């Protein structure tokens, strides 16, 4: 499901009416910081999983077939 251009315009107008013009930059800044923190957290988790798998591969002796 994707939003068309008119749906996006309607959503933006409703947000502008609800929060007003002065609050929008603050809301956008907060949203940006939240996304930045989320991306950092997911990257940290991914790196931790990759390091754990790498450590397990190094510790596990390979059996001859």
**pTM for the structure as a whole:** 0.57
For 8-62, the pLDDT digits (tens) are: 899 988 988 888 888 888 888 999 999 999 999 999 999 999 999 998 888 877 6
| Number of neighbouring beta carbons within 10 Å of residue 24 | 13
Q: Which residue ranges make up each domain of the chain?
A: 5-58
The answer to whether residues 19 and 28 touch, using CB atoms and an 8 Å cutoff, is no
Q: How far is CA 3 from CA 8, 26, 56, in A?
A: 7, 24, 44
């Amino acid at each position: 499901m994707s939003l068309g251009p008119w749906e996006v315009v309607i959503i933006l107008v409703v947000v502008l009416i609800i929060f007003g013009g002065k609050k929008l930059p603050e809301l956008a800044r907060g949203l940006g910081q939240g996304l930045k923190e989320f991306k950092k957290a997911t990257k940290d988790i991914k790196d931790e999983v990759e390091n754990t798998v790498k450590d397990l591969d190094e510790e596990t002796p390979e059996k001859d077939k």
